[in-house]
Amino acid sequence: MLKLVAALVLLSASCLAKTSDPKVQVYSRNPGEYGKPNVLICYVSGFHPPDITIELLKNGQEIPGSHQTDLAFEQGWQFHLTKYVDFNPQNLTCEHTTVPENNSSPKLHTCFDFMM
């Protein structure tokens, strides 16, 4: 019974959370040097609902070998996660897709595009 009450409290708190667009930060682990191995990190935070897809792209194709942290939540039921991949600095793009609250078609956002 206690588990059911706890689940209902969590569900109601989640339903009361405001819809929030993601904040995106993209950076490399080390200062970029052309052709020198590095790690591209895309940190997405402050979003709700937790329905989000992050892709790290090179020349329009997802970079193989990327890793993503588990989805975690902050106060106010906003979520965050990180996706990262080893890379050699070249043309890179970070994109993420969100589904609006009214369940209309997903929106694709390009949050980072650079050439090093």
Model confidence pLDDT, tens digit, residues 58-88: 888 998 999 999 999 988 889 999 999 998 8
Q: What is the DSSP string of the chain?
A: -HHHHHHHHHHHHHHHSPPBPPEEEEEESS---TTS-EEEEEEEEEEBSS-EEEEEEETTEEPTT-EEPPPEE-GGG-EEEEEEEEE-SSEEEEEEEE--TT--S-EEEEEEEEE-
pLDDT at 69: 96
Query: Each residue of 16-38: pLDDT tens digit?
Result: 567 889 999 999 999 877 778 99
pLDDT at 42: 95
Greatest mean pLDDT among 5-9, 56-60, 108-112 lies in 56-60
pLDDT at 116: 41
pLDDT at 43: 96
Is the model more confident about 78 or about 14? Answer: 78
For the domain bounded by 18-115, which CATH number is listed?
Answer: 2.60.40.10
Extents of the domains making up the chain = 18-115
